[in-house]
Structure 1
Amino acid sequence: MIEAELARAVSLRESGALHEARDLLLRLSQTAPDDPRVAYQAAWAHDRLGLEAEAVPFYVRALDGDGLSPVERRGALLGLGSTYRTLGRYTEAADVLSRGVTEFPDDRAMAVFLAMARYNTGDAKSAVAGLLTMLAETSSDPEIQGYRPAIELYAQDLDRIWSC
């Protein structure tokens, strides 16, 4: 029964029936409070409705349990980190997103959100360094690629001064 109802809730969310999806997911959360997939979908529904503060406990519950697919886990980490950042909980955002980057090192969106959270915590140097590294690694712009070694060098130490 949980599987069918969860699939129905996802379908409702995907079709834009967010309030109906949220209502169904809240009922499912009461029926299956330890199911991380239900918690993840409930978090997502709350986030989509602009109810970020209400999404947090669902994200936390989803990440505390086992049972999320890698795609869902990645989404929960990014969702929770982004939600913390939206709520001004910058240190928590950076912590969650750092964990996400460790678990999913090739996820560029996670790295961008981590850079934003680091900026918000006052760690602008680390934020810019991360973005510079990503730009050098991913840009197909010939001008960027022409300066790639210099960009990567400065990303390691933005305060470096060359003496002649």
Structure 2
Amino acid sequence: MSAQDKDERIAEAVRLREQGHPEQAREILLALTAEFPDCAGIAYQTAWVHDVLGLEAEAVPYYERCLQGDGLGEDDRRGALVGLGSTYRVLGRFGQAVETLRRGVDEFPDDGALRTFLAMALFNTGEHHEAMQILLRLVASTSDSDRVRRYRPAIEYYAADLTHTM
């Protein structure tokens, strides 16, 4: 199969997934992954379609494979880190979720989705204080609400010291 044919098949699978036909997309991607087992982009799309289908356990090895090395572009890498961390969390693998999502936040500190999923995973590990700090800082820095922006300094202050009282 030529590189152009491979790219066209990947694009077709993505279209099918986006149009609500994930099972058909999965068939294409499984065939592609058998032919191109080291292609990070195919592994990422295969992981994603498994997640869409609720097959989280089957998604994990594809996520792990696509994150090895530097075969993914920045947007896909962000998505793969969120996807793997979230999938670990859904599967009850909370420590691995925290580890993966921390790695994502370290690589992409401006990514609010990564920080949000990290906060959820931290909650699951009993690290409620840090989870709340992350979410408060995220709300303070990203909210479009005039009321939240008005209280941003106070929210940020209390995020730094949640136990502060008068």
Same fold (TM over 0.5): yes
Q: Which residue of 2 aligns with 1:28?
A: 32
Following superposition of structure 1 onto structure 2, how do residues 48-127 of structure 1 map, counting pairs within 5 Å?
48-127=52-131
Whole-Å separation in 1 of the counterparts to 2:70 and 2:149: 42
Task: Point out where structure 2 has 5 or more consecutive residues left out of the alignment.
Answer: none
Whole-Å separation in 2 of the counterparts to 1:42 and 1:140: 35
| Residue identity matched to 1:105 | P
Whole-Å separation in 2 of the counterparts to 1:14 and 1:115: 28
**Percentage of pairs with the same residue:** 54
Aligned residue pair count? 162
Q: CA RMSD in A?
A: 1.3
Kept in 2: contact 1:43–1:56 (CA 8 A): yes
Deviation at 1:104, TM superposition (A): 1.4
Task: Point out where structure 1 has 5 or more consecutive residues left out of the alignment.
Answer: none
**Structure-2 change in CA distance of 1:16 and 1:142 (3 Å):** closer
* TM-score scaled by length of structure 1: 0.93
Within the candidate set 144, 153, 157, 2:148 is matched to: 144
Q: Which residue of 1 aligns with 2:7?
A: 3
Mapped pair 1:129 → 2:133: yes
Which stretch of the first structure deviates more once superposed, 68-77 or 9-18? 9-18
Whole-Å separation in 2 of the counterparts to 1:142 and 1:29: 48
Whole-Å separation in 2 of the counterparts to 1:148 and 1:20: 47
